[in-house]
A and B are shown apart, each in its own frame.
Chain A
Amino acid sequence: MRRSQYVDGARWVLVLVSLLLVMFPFYWMLNTSLKPASEIFLSPPTFISSNWSLDAYVTVLTERPFARYFLNSLVVTLGTTVLSVTLAAFAAYGFTRFFPRGATPFVVFLLFTKMLPETLLIIPYFQLMASVGLLNSYLALILAYSSFALPFSVWMLIGFFRSIPRDIDEAAKIDGASYLQTFFLVILPLARPGLVAVTLFTFLIAWNSYLWALVLTTDASMHVLSVGVANMVGEYSVQWNELMAAAVIAAVPVMLLFSFLEKHLVNAITSGAVKG
């Protein structure tokens, strides 16, 4: 009895320490964003300040075009997510239902492309987008991000769709459903955990991506949040509280999305199978 109490206690300490290590950077980011500039490098540092205010946020949103950056990020990310998830879902349905032998070779081929370092593709992508007149457009970023998100998305959804028994498709066919009706009314709802996982993954890739936004958008009005935040690191000085405020603004949508969809993500990771 006593031994298990010590073990439990040790476990709790380990969990709390890990939590502290993970949460501290976020806490410090928030803390710094709320402090005035004069307090940022105080020694000893202040963990809770009576001077906390939203001044840095107001400055970021009014004196810099962060609202525009936020909108750009939102459009590009939502566009990428919708396009990738749609294409991946159709690809997974097609391969698992109509061409099952082709599924594995196709996935291997797709995942092969992930072996290419992204920096290798900068010039070809730039030339490609420039040649079709897509530079400085939302579509350029949406297409580029989708090309990176799709391999993993297709691979993951093929796994999920494979676990849905074919009997269910046949039952739907006998009930009178066409292939598309079966896809939308039967298969997609059953693949929800997988779709959620793919949505979150794609959202993260698109929201956080910095390199491609930097390369494919040169016009300041088309910058996304990641570029906007990076640009706040000045050549001679950095307004750290404003930088942290911008980072918090960039992090909030992802946190909100995860909090809403977290249970589906856990479902996706732990089960990944549907029993008919």
Chain B
Amino acid sequence: MASIRFNNIDKRFGKTQVIHNVSFEIEDGEFVVLVGPSGCGKSTLLRMLAGLEEINGGEIAIDGKVINDLDSKDRDIAMVFQSYALYPHMTVRENMAFSLKLRKADAALTNQRVGDAARILNMEPLLERYPRELSGGQRQRVAMGRAIVRDPKVFLFDEPLSNLDAKLRVAMRAEIKTLHQRLKTTTVYVTHDQIEAMTMADRIVVMRDGHIEQIGTPLQLFDRPVNQFVAQFIGSPSMNLIEGRLTRSKGGNFVDALGTRWPVGVVGSVEDGQRVVYGIRPTDMRIGEGKTGIQGQVVVVEPTGSETEIVMDIGGQNLVAVHPGRTGAMPNLTVGISVDASSGHVFDHATGVRLN
């Protein structure tokens, strides 16, 4: 278990700067997810922590000790790769024991550690098999077992579930989370999938173009995204964003957009009539009959069984609402939408920064 500190981290590939002055801390035992679109620098940051990439500026410290000049093997970390990176010519047992063999650990300790890891991951029947004889999920477990055997201070995961099918991904997500709850090892997990981030993380670091956009718990990011990018990246389906103008009146604050008024709560230093972007999550839009509320015409209805996604045309723009359970809505039907002022998000039109 260990705390990690990133201090003013810079990274360049040739003349291109890919990480810009990134700083944040991870507490002992925390499960932190680095999430962002492809090319945002999350994997590069992880690889710098692992010792697979050079750090061009700043320092990384584990438990207060700066590790910039330490070899990977001296950082007491273990990594699970997206491609599993198992040694094809070694059995599962040999894969898991490799690091201990390199350290010349005695056979008893090696057998004990490998056996313990195999038990934790339900892999005991697979120990004498070769990676080519295993399924994707089994290989991923072997990769995790290889990391567990090392008993490191920090686990690093680099998009470990990307190569798995959707159903297996859900199952493995739960396994990884359960493992973390059991072992309580500090974990840094990289993914481009915001659902993985939301379901697994103690805290999420949202990155874009080598910068940190926001750090917070999943619900903090969901409820109060600091800018448009985070607002649209976190949450599925994405937040609806509408361009409009802020109107201050005695009855409250509104955003005039799409020919209608969207209520918002207290908004900071924004002038009456200023151009803003209004955001509303699909789950915060209540759908009723077409007689009252904001009028919308149903375009597409997508029932998923437990809820229904409805795409509506409101004032010429398609917005998505999520209705719990089943609904009688059909295409071309006019529905009435109501939203709470407290559910509305207001962003600056020019910068995308949150205003409320």
Interface contact A174-B77, CB-CB below 8 Å: yes
Chain B residues, CB < 8 A from A181: 102
Interface residues on B, range: 20 to 34
Interchain CA distance A260-B77 in the complex, whole Å: 43
Interface contact A171-B81, CB-CB below 8 Å: yes
Which of A174, A189, A190 contacts B79, CB < 8 Å?
Answer: A174
Which of B78, B84, B87, B88 contacts A174, CB < 8 Å?
Answer: B78
Chain A residues, CB < 8 A from B146: 171, 175
Chain B residues, CB < 8 A from A176: 72-73, 99, 102-103
Interface contact A175-B88, CB-CB below 8 Å: no
Interface contact A167-B102, CB-CB below 8 Å: no
At the interface, yes or no: A165 with Cβ under 8 Å from chain B?
A: yes
At the interface, yes or no: B15 with Cβ under 8 Å from chain A?
A: no
At the interface, yes or no: A170 with Cβ under 8 Å from chain B?
A: yes
Which of B71, B81, B88, B103 contacts A274, CB < 8 Å?
Answer: B88
Interface contact A173-B73, CB-CB below 8 Å: yes
Say how far B92's CB is from chain A's closest CB, in angstroms.
14
Chain A residues, CB < 8 A from B99: 175-176
Number of interface residues of A (CB under 8 A): 19
Q: Which partner residue on chain B sits nearest A165 by CB separation?
A: B83
At the interface, yes or no: B50 with Cβ under 8 Å from chain A?
A: yes
Say how far A174's CB is from chain B's closest CB, in angstroms.
5
Chain B residues, CB < 8 A from A101: none
At the interface, yes or no: B98 with Cβ under 8 Å from chain A?
A: yes
Chain B residues, CB < 8 A from A171: 79, 81, 85-87, 146
Chain A residues, CB < 8 A from B78: 174
A159-179: CB near B (< 8 Å → 1, else 0) gives 000000101101111111100
Q: Which partner residue on chain A sits nearest B147 by CB separation?
A: A174
Interface contact A174-B73, CB-CB below 8 Å: yes
Chain A residues, CB < 8 A from B50: 170, 174
Residue of A174, A274, A275 most packed against chain B (CB within 10 A): A174
Q: Which partner residue on chain B sits nearest A169 by CB separation?
A: B85
Which of A174, A275, A276 contacts B72, CB < 8 Å?
Answer: A174
Q: Which partner residue on chain B sits nearest A175 by CB separation?
A: B99
Interface contact A190-B89, CB-CB below 8 Å: yes
Residues of chain A from 175 to 203 with CB closer than 8 A to chain B in the complex: 175-177, 181, 185-186, 189-190
Known pairs A170-B52, A175-B98; A190 contacts B88 (CB<8 A): yes
7 tightest CB-CB pairs across the interface, nearest first?
A176-B73, A167-B85, A171-B85, A175-B99, A189-B89, A176-B102, A174-B72
Binding site for A on B (CB under 8 A): 50-52, 71-73, 77-79, 81-89, 98-99, 102-103, 132, 146, 150
What are 27 A-to-B residue pairs whose CB atoms are below 8 Å? Answer: A167-B82, A168-B85, A168-B87, A170-B52, A170-B79, A170-B81, A170-B85, A171-B79, A171-B81, A171-B85, A171-B146, A173-B51, A173-B71, A174-B52, A174-B73, A174-B77, A174-B79, A175-B98, A175-B99, A176-B72, A176-B103, A177-B73, A177-B98, A185-B98, A190-B88, A274-B88, A276-B85
Given contacts A175-B150, A190-B88, 18 further A-B contacts (CB under 8 A): A165-B85, A168-B85, A170-B52, A171-B85, A171-B87, A175-B73, A175-B102, A175-B146, A176-B72, A176-B102, A177-B73, A177-B102, A181-B102, A185-B98, A190-B87, A275-B88, A276-B84, A276-B86
